[in-house]
């Protein structure tokens, strides 16, 4: 089955999710629990895979991650230089 994204990393928000989570001294388990309270189930292992770029992230998950971390969606995309070649 062909992958949607033919790169080593499958998302561009993971590094910033990890940055903001650590800045808030929040564990992956705590972030997972906060998401679950919002009705978005992302287990601790999936948080790890999002952060290391090996798991894709849905739009609903991006919205919930931003809300759970207290940042804007744009903040999660603030480190995208070099990921996408728009030319």
Rounded to whole angstroms, how far apart are CA atoms 21 and 62? 14
- Distances from the Cα of 42 to the Cα of 1, 66, 74, angstroms: 24, 14, 21
pTM for the model: 0.85
pLDDT in tens, 18-53: 999 999 999 999 999 999 999 999 999 999 999 999
- DSSP for 39-87, please give it: T----HHHHHHHHTT-S---HHHHHHHHHHHT--HHHHTTT-TTT----
The DSSP code for 8 is S
């Amino acid at each position: 089955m062909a992958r949607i994204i033919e790169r080593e990393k499958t998302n561009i928000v993971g590094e910033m999710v990890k940055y903001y989570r650590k800045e808030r001294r929040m564990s992956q388990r705590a972030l997972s629990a906060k998401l679950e309270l919002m009705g978005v189930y992302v287990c601790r292992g999936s948080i790890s895979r999002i952060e290391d770029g090996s798991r894709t992230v849905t739009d609903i998950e991006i919205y919930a991650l931003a809300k759970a971390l207290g940042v804007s969606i744009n903040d999660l995309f603030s480190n995208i230089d070099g990921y996408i070649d728009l030319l």
